[in-house]
Structure 1
Amino acid sequence: MRRVGMFDGEEQVELKFRIFDGTDIGHGNYTSSTAIATLKQKLLDEWPQDKSVAPKSVDDIKLIHAGRVLDDEATLAESRIPIGDVSGVVTMHVVVQPGNNRKNTDKNLRESQTCFCAIL
């Protein structure tokens, strides 16, 4: 990201978000106090209608930066997004993981990790 100016005394950063097929959405300037949940809502609102994979809610969206899934309650600054003089725009990756599939996967994982022990 690069510093793009100040908004009410707060630095702004320039971000874009890359979805599964390489399309970039949500390009814009954001303040360092912007919550990850707010970004996810913006992406949901702007999601391209012609895509075969689309989130149904913000819970279906995961934002990834520097190999880490970002916490919804954290801000950009709290998420250790570099703010300052960095050349270019930083790209965050967006993963769509529908909630129902995630629950089934978690359930299957728990069932597969069940251990039956016998003491002799």
Structure 2
Amino acid sequence: MIEQIKDLLTGEFFTPTRSDQRFATKENQIRYNNLKARQKRRAKAEIDRALDANRNILRKILNNKEEVIKTHDFLLGAGFNFGITTHKMNKEGKLWSCVYEYALLHLGDGRLKITKI
């Protein structure tokens, strides 16, 4: 006798045709995976929006230049969120804060060097 299992999406019991089957229908599997993906996107949305905004600000400020120096207040006024970065990078003994392909180095006196990695 083949054991029935419970569909992860609907909770209905069904007899699987494969040993790794977890859903009664392919549509249930697709819907379940889409719901999980939507939950993940919603959980990350606020941070992703802030990262995207930070990246756009740095891209516009740099505007095809090798590097620029701007003040902390200038970046704040542009809407830059200093609390959200993608990673840190140690370059020549100095710690740079990065937003994707852009890096910021605190120079002191409220100034920051911005460069594209």
The answer to whether the superposition gives a TM-score over 0.5 is no
**TM, length-normalised to structure 2:** 0.26
**TM, length-normalised to structure 1:** 0.26
Structure ranking higher on relative contact order (CA contacts 8 Å, 6+ apart): 1
